[in-house]
A and B are shown apart, each in its own frame.
Chain A
Amino acid sequence: MTIKVGDVFPEAVLTYIPYDAKNPDACGLPQQLKTHEAFKGKKVVLFAVPGAFTPTCSEAHMPEYVERIDELKSKGADIVACVASNDQFVMHAWGKSYNVKDNILMLSDANGELGSALGLVNDGTARRMGPIRLARFAVILDDLKVVYLGVESAPGVTVSGASAVLAKL
């Protein structure tokens, strides 16, 4: 079953490589992020993408968040996070390619734990993208409660884009 507005965001363990401002090119050690522990008491904007490094000509999702990060934070988002089923090394490299620093947490759900818990996981094998792929969506969480959920039903970015989220913050 898919999560809906009003639900408590599920507990899941994600991984990420922390940004090191002193040494941004270091091979950082992967860390775990437990959603309940990390998001408790905070306003969180989390957007999910089917794949890191999908072509920039068709990829409008991430750049808009990068561009509007200050607006998101000034409207009260404590954490802005991006998640995909790519692994933490890929997510970290993708974040670097956009110079996100620590403005956006680049999270990995390579085991599909969060996707399954949310009911927002797709099978990408027909496109040879592998069996575990997240849908494209965005959520706003307020102290772990889902206050906005925008799931894309077709290719493209509308309800899960930074402007859609900004309008709901």
Chain B
Amino acid sequence: MTIKIGDEFPQVQLKYVPYDAAAPNACKGPQLLDTKKDFAGKKVVIVGVPGAFSPTCSAQHLPAYVSKVDEIKAKGVDLIVCVSGNDFFVMDAWGKQQKVDGKIIMAGDANGDLGRATGLALDLSKVGLGPVRLTRFAAIVDNGKVSYLAVEPDSSEVAVSGAGDVLAAL
């Protein structure tokens, strides 16, 4: 079943490569991001995408979040997390290409734990992208509770889950 507004956000562990401003190209070991422990007491924006480096994600979805990151944080957001079914190395490389500079946590859900727990998993094996993928969505999680959720009816487009939509909901 898909999560809905008012629900407790499920606890899963994602993985990401921490950003090091002093040595942005250093090879850092990955870390876990626990959606219960690390989200406790915080306002979090989560952006789910079907695939790093894919045309829609790179051209429309993530860039708007990158350019509006200060506005989003100024509205009281502690953490912005971009997550996909790609692994954490790919997410890290994509974040570097998009000049995220550590302002957005680029997390991998390569095992599909988040997709299963939220009901937002997407099987893209028919288009050759593999079985473990997330649909395109944006959520606001306030102290562990879902306060906003927008799931794209067509995962190849950005209609309701963009940075502007989230800003309006904050």
Chain A positions within 8 Å of B, measured between CB atoms, are 13, 15, 27, 30, 32, 51-58, 85-90, 92-94, 97, 108, 110-112, 124-125, 128-132
Determine if B128 and A110 form an interchain contact, defined as CB atoms under 8 angstroms apart.
yes
Chain B positions within 8 Å of A, measured between CB atoms, are 13-15, 27, 30, 51-55, 59, 85-90, 92-94, 97, 108, 110-112, 124-125, 127-132
Determine if A93 and B85 form an interchain contact, defined as CB atoms under 8 angstroms apart.
no
Chain A residues near B92: list those with CB within 8 A: 53
- Could you jot down 10 A-B contacts, CB within 8 Å? A30-B128, A52-B93, A53-B93, A57-B27, A87-B129, A90-B52, A110-B129, A112-B130, A130-B85, A131-B132
How many Å lie between the Cα of A51 and that of B90 in the bound state? 8
Also in contact, A93 and B111, with CB within 8 A (given A15-B128, A27-B59)? no
What's the least CB distance linking B16 to chain A, in Å?
10
A30, A53, A88, A94, most chain B CB atoms within 10 A: A53
- Interface of B, secondary structure class, is mixed
What's the least CB distance linking A127 to chain B, in Å?
8
Also in contact, A97 and B110, with CB within 8 A (given A15-B128, A55-B27, A92-B53)? no
Determine if B55 and A90 form an interchain contact, defined as CB atoms under 8 angstroms apart.
no
A30, A56, A87, most chain B CB atoms within 10 A: A87
What's the least CB distance linking A61 to chain B, in Å?
14
Determine if B89 and A128 form an interchain contact, defined as CB atoms under 8 angstroms apart.
no
Chain B residues near A92: list those with CB within 8 A: 53
Chain B residues near A30: list those with CB within 8 A: 127-128
Determine if B108 and A86 form an interchain contact, defined as CB atoms under 8 angstroms apart.
no
Q: Which 4 A-B pairs have the closest CB atoms?
A: A130-B110, A110-B130, A55-B27, A53-B93
Known pairs A125-B111, A129-B111, A131-B111 / 8 extra A-B pairs, C-beta < 8 Å: A58-B27, A89-B52, A89-B55, A90-B90, A93-B94, A97-B93, A110-B129, A130-B111
Also in contact, A88 and B86, with CB within 8 A (given A93-B93, A97-B93)? no
How many Å lie between the Cα of A13 and that of B126 in the bound state? 12
How many Å lie between the Cα of A132 and that of B95 in the bound state? 23
Determine if A86 and B86 form an interchain contact, defined as CB atoms under 8 angstroms apart.
yes
What's the least CB distance linking B118 to chain A, in Å?
17
Chain B residues near A112: list those with CB within 8 A: 130
B97, B110, B128, B131, most chain A CB atoms within 10 A: B128
Determine if B110 and A124 form an interchain contact, defined as CB atoms under 8 angstroms apart.
yes
Determine if A87 and B87 form an interchain contact, defined as CB atoms under 8 angstroms apart.
no
